[in-house]
Amino acid sequence: MQTILNIVVPIFSLIAIGFASARTRLLPESVETALARFVFVIAVPLLLFRTLSTMSFGNANPLYLWASYFGAVAVVWTCGSLAARAFAGADRRTAVIAGISSSFANTVLVAIPTLQRAYGDPGLEPLLLIVSIHLPVMMIASSILIERAAARDASQGAAIAHDPPPLSKIARRVGRNLATNPIVVGIVAGLVWRATGFPLDGHFSEVTRLLSGTAGPIALFSLGMSLTRYGLKGDIFMATTAAALSLLVMPALVWLIGNGLGLPDLWLKGAVLTAAAPAGVNAYILATYFGAGEKLAATTILVSTVASVVTLSLWLTILGT
């Protein structure tokens, strides 16, 4: 138990300090925006670059890892969407947002520091393999499903201000966004550097090490500051349901599928803890962009982040450290 506390307490202490700094206005809101941008544009891309360019992934098959993780995503996303339709009377767009909130884990701000503290840098191997396709898969699927849901709502007389664009236009827009996304750039740069066979050493290695080392602490602090924007605004029952799917059902499914496929022990633990991370801010960004389910997404982020203090401790206990 002491080992679990040594992992969890520092993580959520940084989140709490960030929250208190924003709530008491010790730091202005602009600081949170700048810190979050630093994490996503510089620190995390450099962390991905360093790890992918130098780490050995052995002979394990990443297809089994992806099947375990995204198989669970598909089930949980479907359950979240169906629950929103059945219990909250949500329209189809909001139901898609409920599915996203249930399955789009906070892989950057929470999963990275959790796995680093629990298993060291080797613990990042499965996370980085998941992250390498996580953002493209989730963003493309989210955009297509929301646009199609909008079309179906419109066909039934829902108040939609525009006709949904064709799938080709959605794909081009998402493709442009991904091509300029710093995390995607960091992944590609790391893989290219790895392919060249050049060593990562000298002053360049030290600079990237120092900058990438800030990713975890600053990510947690900025996440805490951002929570002041999310109140209990939406359907509490549906948000709690989405949080339960995210924190309990999804990691359990990853564990079951991964065991069945024979994932290596460390990969299994990394995939489960990645799935056990609370709902990511991308759910709220997508909800705001498409004008559906904003309150539900915001409330799910808040509820799942607070509840993950307990659930991450539970999963760390089950998996062992």
245-263 tens-digit pLDDT: 999 999 999 999 999 999 9
**pLDDT at site 85:** 92
CATH number at residue 263: 1.20.1530
**pLDDT at 234 (0 to 100):** 66
pLDDT tens-digit series, residues 72-131: 999 999 999 999 999 888 888 899 999 999 999 988 788 888 998 889 878 888 888 898
Q: How far is CA 204 from CA 46, 112, 122, 319, in A?
A: 11, 23, 22, 36
In which domain, by residue range, is 93 found?
A: 2-319
Residue 152 Cα to chain centre, angstroms: 28
Q: What is the per-residue pLDDT for 244? A: 97
Question: What total of structural domains would you count in the chain?
Answer: 1
What pLDDT, on the 0 to 100 scale, is given for residue 166?
A: 64
Q: Count CB neighbours of 297 within 10 A.
A: 31
Tokens of 37: 């941008």
Report, as ranges of residue numbers, the positions in the chain whose pLDDT lies below 50: 158-161
Contact 11, 114 (CB under 8 A): yes
> What integer pLDDT is reported at residue 158 of this predicted model?
45
Angle, nearest 10°, between helix axes 124-155 and 167-179?
A: 150
- What integer pLDDT is reported at residue 179 of this predicted model? 75
Q: What is the pLDDT of residue 197?
A: 82
Closest of 47, 164, 183 to residue 115, by C-alpha: 47
CA atoms within 13 A on the CB side of 72: 33
What's the confidence (pLDDT) of residue 54? 75
Helix (H, G, I), strand (E, B) or coil at 251: helix
- Is the pTM here over 0.75, yes or no? yes
Whole-Å CA distances, 76 to 190, 206, 217, 288: 31, 41, 29, 22
- End-to-end alpha carbon distance in the chain: 10
